[in-house]
Amino acid sequence: MFERLALLIGTDNLNKIEEKTILIVGVGGVGGYVATSLARSGVRNLIIMDFDTIDITNINRQITAYSSTIGLKKVDVLEKMLLDINPNMNVIKYDTFLNSENINVIFDRHKIDYIVDACDTINTKKDIIQYGLTKYIPFISSMGTGNRLDPTKLEIMDLRKTNNDPIARILRKWAKDNKINKKILVLSSLEVPKKVGKIVSSNSFVPATAGLIITSYIIRDIIK
């Protein structure tokens, strides 16, 4: 199944990838592409977490969103997709909302090697950052991908180097106020967001590219 990938990175590195357990919090526009591309990259152990259902407005950007899946739970649809990619995967799904009250429960149940924060909730992002830094678990936190058109402006960087990102601005202030000096790895766009009104606009290619960039970083980090 992964012969072509093994040609590129070697069998030993493929085995390293297969052994890792990765938690993805939020499996919408960014997280869904992280999950499926990790599965196609040999990751066998995935924990997916999302409390949302698929809506018709998700069809323009989310990998789980089709006319036939509207109204279904995102984690249910994604689980079927992942097992269709690789029936030998170990997919654990949580149809729940991650917060400060249950984050310890999740990590007590599983040995997690990497965290991908692809959720939309600022407080959850803070909880993940604090937990990752405290427990020395590598993580990447996705910042905003809405109201943007240029996927080439996406980069993985330290939170302190972000610019033109409203979510990152909030988190930078929070990190400064709480005297958090450790590196906080994020995926962020340097593109100035478009002003389109109260509703956040979106497209098919910026969130998808963000997800693929995150997967690329994780795979390269595992095999380095």
CA distance 183 to 139: 10
Torsion of CA 102, 176, 147, 93, to 10 degrees: -20
Run of H or E including 214: helix 206-223
Predicted local distance difference test score (pLDDT) of residue 15: 98
Q: What is the DSSP string of 65-120?
A: --GGGTTSBHHHHHHHHHHHH-TT-EEEEE-S---TTTHHHHHHH---SEEEE--S
The average pLDDT across 61-65 equals 98
Residue 224's pLDDT is: 94
Contact 8, 101 (CB under 8 A): no
Domains assigned to the chain: 3-223 (3.40.50.720)
* Confidence band of 207 (pLDDT split at 50, 70, 90): very high
Mean pLDDT of 15-35: 98
- Average pLDDT of the residues in 37-62: 98
The model's pLDDT over 151-188, given as tens digits with 9 standing for 90+, comes to: 999 999 999 999 999 999 999 999 999 999 999 999 99
